[in-house]
Amino acid sequence: MEVKTLPLSGIRVIELARVLAGPWAGQMLADLGADVIKVENPDGGDDTRAWGPPFVTGKDGENLSSAYYHSTNRNKRAIALDFRSAEDLEVARRLIRTADVVIENFKVGGLEKYGLDYKSLAAVNPRLVYCSITGFGQDGPYAARAGYDYIVQGMSGFMSVTGAPDGEPMKAGVAIADIFTGIYSVAAIQAALIHAMRTGRGQQIDMALLDVQSAVMANQNMNYLVSGIAPTRLGNAHPNITPYEVIETADGHIILAVGNDGQFQRFCAILGRNDLPADERFSTNKSRVKHRADLRPLILEQSRNWTKSDLLSACERNGVPAGPINSIAETFDDPQIKARGMRLDLADRDGNSIPGVRTPIIFSETPLSYDRPSPRLGEHSSEILAELEAIEEKRKSA
């Protein structure tokens, strides 16, 4: 059987990052085949190891760290180093001399006192791609502030358009600023690696949570920039399309995602309201958006006569986009999620099974590999140190 080489095989990443954005980037790179070495302080390690419950429990009752930690540290190796120790700090520097990439999320300037800043490291490893992740970037009036996903969701305008119109501003149910920053960081790192391979020169990447969350506001940004009017909260409704919202049925709610006039006509036929598309208030999407307050009660008057399953089946038969609102338990029980193999179950060194979710990328030629669950604190320290010495000896004799 032919063994496929993973896309990033041979790329070494040193992860000096904690919590979510940096580790998320590291996990994606590891899933793509990079050798990601997670460096943690021996005193407790990554903060998220303690962010529970729930915690993963081993067969012998051992606490194997929180579910949160395991969500973002798969496929990595781990070494425990205390930068306050001259010996450990030198190990970190030696490791980085063998690396292609560093990911760090210390405060601006926080690594300079250790000689682990980009300028110091690039002097000895000019090909190094150095990705710095902070809340607000390396410059600007907020650069020195600590960055938190929740605060950035508020500052970016995201919470001003999320939630019910008559309710309080609402954050997302997951840390989307962190997650998006991790994903953008992976794209930037891979681009910088290509540049380094072409030119022999690395560079520093400046990633800021506020930049990212502001950028991914997408059409809401453009709605404001074009109209001069700041969008507001619409609950589950869409600012540019209608009916594109949650609707009520006899036994619960479903999502209706009508994207064009033809779909609207077919949906009205399902409801037995063929008169609605002929009404000038509802004949085009532009007019429906203008008169959404008039349209919604007319739809609900009919949809409440249907069960969720019957209305969803009718929409599917007639080419009208609609879907259920699943709990996470229902999502993992969904036949499509099962067919796509989204759930992982990885065995650790003691035979404990650690659940997870695969990276949502499928390659036809180089399928991703999930070889190990998240590492224990310092689990691979001896292995990494022995390997480092072998690399250094090989370079001396070359």
Cα 77 to chain center, whole Å? 21
Give the model's confidence band at 19: pLDDT under 50 very low, under 70 low, under 90 confident, else very high. very high
327-342 confidence digits (pLDDT tens): 999 999 999 999 999 9
Please state which CATH number belongs to domain 244-328. 3.30.1540.10
| pLDDT confidence of residue 2 | 54
**178 is an active site residue:** yes
| pLDDT confidence of residue 398 | 72
Bridge partners of 146, per DSSP, are: none
155-194 confidence digits (pLDDT tens): 999 999 999 999 999 999 999 999 999 999 999 999 999 9
50-70 confidence digits (pLDDT tens): 999 999 999 989 999 999 999
Label residues 274-307 b or e (16+ Cβ within 10 Å = b): eebbebeebeebeebbeebeebeebbeebbeebe
Contact 346, 356 (CB under 8 A): yes
DSSP letter at 132? E
282-324 confidence digits (pLDDT tens): 999 999 999 999 999 999 999 999 999 999 999 999 999 999 9
Residue 41 has pLDDT above 90, yes or no: yes
223-277 confidence digits (pLDDT tens): 999 999 999 999 999 999 999 999 999 999 999 999 999 999 999 999 999 999 9
| pLDDT confidence of residue 290 | 96
Decide which of 70 and 4 is more confident.
70
Task: Given the residues 35, 100, 178, 211, select the one marked as catalytic.
Answer: 178
| pLDDT confidence of residue 1 | 45
Tell me the mean pLDDT in the region 91-115. 96
Bridge partners of 24, per DSSP, are: none
| pLDDT confidence of residue 396 | 85
**Secondary structure (3-state) at 384:** helix
Q: Range(s) for CATH 3.40.50.10540 in the chain?
A: 12-217+341-397
Going by C-alpha positions, the residue among 57, 63, 79, 77 that lies closest to residue 354 is: 57
Give the model's confidence band at 395: pLDDT under 50 very low, under 70 low, under 90 confident, else very high. confident
**pTM of the shown model:** 0.92
Percentage of residues in the chain with pLDDT exceeding 90?
Answer: 95
Q: For the chain, what is the mean pLDDT?
A: 95
Cα 332 to chain center, whole Å? 18
Contact 1, 83 (CB under 8 A): no
Strands laid side by side in the 77-80 sheet: 77-80, 35-40, 12-16, 101-104, 129-134, 203-208
Q: Range(s) for CATH 3.30.1540.10 in the chain?
A: 244-328
111-121 confidence digits (pLDDT tens): 999 999 999 99
Contact 264, 319 (CB under 8 A): no
C-alpha Rg value of the chain to the nearest Å: 25
Who contacts 361 (Cβ-Cβ below 8 Å, separation ≥6)?
31, 32, 368
343-355 confidence digits (pLDDT tens): 999 999 999 999 9
Residue 23 has pLDDT above 80, yes or no: yes
Q: Give the CATH fold of the 12-217+341-397 domain.
A: Rossmann fold (3.40.50)
